[in-house]
A and B are shown apart, each in its own frame.
Chain A
Amino acid sequence: MSSKRRFAVVTDSTADLPDEWRARYGIEVVPLKVIFGSETFRDRVDITDDEFFRRLSAATKLPTTSAPSPGEFAEVYRRLAAEFDACISIHLGAQLSATVESAKLGAQAVDGFRVEVIDSETVTMPIAFLCKVAAESESLEAASAAVRARVPKARVLALLDTLRYLEMGGRLSRAQAMIGTMLDLKPLLLVADREIKPVDRVRTRSRAVSRMADYFRGELPVEHVAVMHAQAPDEAEAIAKGLRELLPGQEIPIGKIGCVLGTHTGPKALGVVYIKK
């Protein structure tokens, strides 16, 4: 199938692309890296999600994460150039990571191969949705237009079990969140418009989950939706069940939050991610 396509689709490991879609559409995934002390792991290549969260909870210091190097991107593009005329490369939001920058530099290093690098402005499965949209497009131009039109509509609604990891990682200022630090609050956050915005703060997890569902209902209609979790499969399944009742006929996959995002969310994070219509 993929050999008939005139363009390839590339993303990175933070898209949390379901294996099934990866196989179905032949999407290339470039791994970011997660570094525990002196040990470096390629996200989802050298380390599984389960292994990562086991290490994260045992770690005394937060791991660091790093974008793929331009050379790593160049290597992938060079390989694809043998088979395709062009590719669309959709990545983790540039406000959060240097991945987009790396991809652009990598593309410049490969002569005669057109690479359309797209800043998704978001994280996790909305990137996978954009990849799916691209893969189902007729041409690179159509894919690029369809993806760019959806970038401003991508949303990640995340419920963290604690703000600790996000704060330690420097991704959220206290003032920005107006979230008290004395009490152990459950923050509900929205990634939209290149920002992480606090939506609500709640004292207990079950109420936070119902707030998340309430907020999502206010965002309908949506084109794509998925439920994400970090080591909380049962809760994710329960949320998905509720969404399936709300949106009969809609495909609602359950995705696992990977290492890079997981470093900032910490374990037990839950999310509803979607592309607004």
Chain B
Amino acid sequence: MASRRPAGVDGPLFKQALLGSLTWLSANHEEVNRLNVFPVPDGDTGTNMLLTLQSAVEDIRESNAAEVSKIAKLASHGSLMGARGNSGVILSQIFRGFARAVEGKSSLTPRELADAFEEAANAAYRAVNKPTEGTILTVAREAGRAAAAAASEVDATVPGVIAAAAGGARAAVTKTPSQLQILRDAGVVDAGGFGLQIILEGMLKTFEQAETFHIDMVAPKPKAAQVALDLPEGGWGYCTEFLIEGAALDVDVIRGEIEALGNSVLVVGEPELVKVHVHTDDPTRVITLAGGFGKLLKLNVGDMSTQHKRILDSEGAAGRPPRANGVGLVAVVAGSGLVDIFRGLGVDAIVEGGQTMNPSTQDMLTAVDGVPYDEVVLLPNNGNVVLAASQVRGLTKKKVHVIETHSVPQGVAAVVAFRPERSGGENVETMKAEAARVQTIEVTHAVRDTRSNGLKVKKGDVIGLVNDKLEFAGGDYAEVVNKALGKLGPDAYELVTVYRGQGASDEELAQLESAIRSSFPGLEVEVQQGGQQHYPFILSVE
């Protein structure tokens, strides 16, 4: 469909380009995953970027929009909802910047395309609190610069600009180890930057190849992060989602009518294609109404009441009284024991996820919208979930506070400090302070040989991370934990809580406990069944 040498980038061509990016990234995302800096099992950058890009492209497939601006807008929205992990969130911001730059344009000249690439990089920089060079940000900027240089040539073409962007990205990726010590130590280039390079190369292939790609999605289906709600009895209705395809659709009119039928309403799109998301007690009415505007695609109705009821039945949670301060709690947690602990402490909804399965912004948004409070405290409990969690704030009418908890112990400390009779603002202050006070030790096995933080690690070694930093390696859990506790200075602490993961045997647990008790008799030791994967032990020191 795309002509061989297009003069400008219009809607159909940009759509093809994005589909090309997706194909190329799904073929190469494992390569990106292998560039893990830390030898720990955690959310893989390649998978996170792929799932984010999939979400970006999802609604575009159905669109026949002629204008590039409309395709870019759909991609921006889709990537924002599907953003997973830090690299996924930054990718969504790149799409956002691009969409802003091309607003109102039906087709892009080479110059305009280069400007859009540059604006995309600027938007990504703005989205990050402390931009670090040697990351996807640098790669985006260098791609933009190279594109701008190519666009200044007299005979500039669109493929030439994209080729320059991809080339600029590649050169920037190669340089990332010289900018970041951790990359140098691990002997890798930056994974997020490499992912962006692949996305640009995928676009380029669309233009270079005579035929369009054979689009055959082999990408892993995202495991739907389960949102488990613990809500009072009452109508919670059905999560209803679909696309409306039509002509001259008025987004505002549709939104107005849908809003009258439910809550958590999200209506976005273009005159030709509108995406609708609503929680309603009467999905039939919503569908009938929407059917009057145009053809419905990808209709999906989920019964939230049933899910809610099932949880109530299974847990016998006899309806907690509504909280005095009107503040709900949502936490990202994985592991059956940890889920129970967070629930026991009063968390209203759990988004299952964490170390290896980073939930998307959409997963967290659904949970936030599902709790019966207009103000919600959201606890990501993992460094790689924090940024995706912060995106929820812009997507809901609710007041959302994200407490940047980087670990399970920080999350527990924050929830313990929550008091139902204090206001949301007061709670956020104390929860932040409590989360910052607790020390985290995470124990796992190295997933590959590496050097990191001056430490030589062999695949399979027991490794200990203290507050997210790889500090110790050794032969057994007790040895590594004792070193980590020694580093923290046990005199300053009273209590060690051991969250036992799936990989730890009774014997290993007993050894660990007795090792801590004999080396640090002043510390109280409490053992909890965490049930988390990949990390045999997570310890909280306070």
How many whole Å from A183's CB to the nearest CB in chain B? 6
Q: Name the B residues within 8 Å of A183 (CB-CB).
A: 341, 344-345, 412, 416, 497, 526, 528
Query: Is the beta-carbon distance between A205 and B494 smaller than 8 angstroms?
Result: yes
Q: Is A6 an interface residue (CB 8 A)?
A: no
Q: Is A175 an interface residue (CB 8 A)?
A: yes
Q: Name the A residues within 8 Å of B416 (CB-CB).
A: 180, 183, 185, 201-203
Query: Is the beta-carbon distance between B320 and A182 smaller than 8 angstroms?
Result: no
How many whole Å from A257's CB to the nearest CB in chain B? 22
With A178-B420, A203-B416, A204-B542 as contacts: A184 and B494 at CB distance below 8 Å: no
Out of B341, B413, B494, B495, which one reaches A182, CB within 8 Å?
B341
- CB contacts under 8 Å to A, within B352-374, are none
Instruction: Compute how far the CA of A192 lies from the CA of B413 in the bound complex, rounded to whole angstroms.
Output: 27
Interface string of A149-188 (1 = CB under 8 A from B): 0000000000000000000000000010010111111000
Q: Name the B residues within 8 Å of A202 (CB-CB).
A: 416
Q: Name the A residues within 8 Å of B497 (CB-CB).
A: 183, 203
Q: Is B340 an interface residue (CB 8 A)?
A: yes
How many whole Å from A179's CB to the nearest CB in chain B? 8
Query: Is the beta-carbon distance between A175 and B528 smaller than 8 angstroms?
Result: no
Q: Name the A residues within 8 Å of B321 (CB-CB).
A: 175
Instruction: Compute how far the CA of A201 lies from the CA of B340 in the bound complex, rounded to whole angstroms.
Output: 18
Instruction: Compute how far the CA of A182 lies from the CA of B339 in the bound complex, rounded to whole angstroms.
Output: 11
Instruction: Compute how far the CA of A107 lies from the CA of B341 in the bound complex, rounded to whole angstroms.
Output: 51
Q: Name the B residues within 8 Å of A175 (CB-CB).
A: 320-321
Instruction: Compute how far the CA of A203 lies from the CA of B526 in the bound complex, rounded to whole angstroms.
Output: 11
With A202-B416, A204-B542 as contacts: A180 and B341 at CB distance below 8 Å: yes
Instruction: Compute how far the CA of A120 lies from the CA of B381 in the bound complex, rounded to whole angstroms.
Output: 46
Instruction: Compute how far the CA of A178 lies from the CA of B495 in the bound complex, rounded to whole angstroms.
Output: 22
Q: Name the B residues within 8 Å of A181 (CB-CB).
A: 344
Q: Is B419 an interface residue (CB 8 A)?
A: yes
With A203-B416, A203-B495, A206-B494 as contacts: A180 and B542 at CB distance below 8 Å: no
Instruction: Compute how far the CA of A185 lies from the CA of B412 in the bound complex, rounded to whole angstroms.
Output: 11
Q: Is A200 an interface residue (CB 8 A)?
A: yes
With A175-B321, A203-B495, A203-B542 as contacts: A180 and B419 at CB distance below 8 Å: no
Q: Is B193 an interface residue (CB 8 A)?
A: no
Query: Is the beta-carbon distance between A178 and B346 smaller than 8 angstroms?
Result: yes
Instruction: Compute how far the CA of A201 lies from the CA of B413 in the bound complex, rounded to whole angstroms.
Output: 10
Instruction: Compute how far the CA of A136 lies from the CA of B321 in the bound complex, rounded to whole angstroms.
Output: 45
Out of A180, A184, A200, A206, which one reaches B345, CB within 8 Å?
A180
Nearest A residue (CB) for B420: A178
Q: Name the A residues within 8 Å of B412 (CB-CB).
A: 183
Instruction: Compute how far the CA of A180 lies from the CA of B347 in the bound complex, rounded to whole angstroms.
Output: 10
Q: Name the B residues within 8 Å of A185 (CB-CB).
A: 416
Query: Is the beta-carbon distance between A200 and B495 smaller than 8 angstroms?
Result: no
Instruction: Compute how far the CA of A202 lies from the CA of B433 in the bound complex, rounded to whole angstroms.
Output: 13
Instruction: Compute how far the CA of A205 lies from the CA of B419 in the bound complex, rounded to whole angstroms.
Output: 18
- CB contacts under 8 Å to A, within B375-402, are none
Interface string of B512-535 (1 = CB under 8 A from A): 000000000000101010000000
Q: Name the B residues within 8 Å of A201 (CB-CB).
A: 416
Instruction: Compute how far the CA of A183 lies from the CA of B530 in the bound complex, rounded to whole angstroms.
Output: 11
How many whole Å from B360's CB to the nearest CB in chain A? 28
Nearest B residue (CB) for A205: B494
Query: Is the beta-carbon distance between A204 and B495 smaller than 8 angstroms?
Result: yes
- CB contacts under 8 Å to A, within B460-512, are 494-495, 497
Query: Is the beta-carbon distance between A180 and B346 smaller than 8 angstroms?
Result: yes
Q: Name the A residues within 8 Å of B346 (CB-CB).
A: 178, 180
- CB contacts under 8 Å to B, within A42-70, are none
Instruction: Compute how far the CA of A69 lies from the CA of B346 in the bound complex, rounded to whole angstroms.
Output: 42
Query: Is the beta-carbon distance between A203 and B413 smaller than 8 angstroms?
Result: yes
The chain B residues found within 8 Å of chain A, CB to CB, are 320-321, 340-341, 344-346, 412-413, 416, 419-420, 494-495, 497, 524, 526, 528, 542
The chain A residues found within 8 Å of chain B, CB to CB, are 175, 178, 180-185, 200-206
Q: Which 5 A-B pairs have the closest CB atoms?
A: A180-B344, A180-B345, A182-B344, A204-B494, A182-B341
- 18 contacting pairs across A/B (C-beta < 8 A): A180-B341, A181-B344, A182-B340, A182-B341, A182-B344, A182-B345, A183-B341, A183-B412, A183-B497, A185-B416, A202-B416, A203-B413, A203-B416, A203-B495, A203-B542, A204-B494, A204-B495, A205-B494
| Seed contacts A175-B321, A183-B416, A204-B495; 12 additional CB < 8 Å A-B pairs | A178-B420, A180-B341, A180-B346, A182-B340, A183-B341, A183-B412, A183-B528, A201-B416, A202-B416, A203-B495, A203-B497, A206-B494
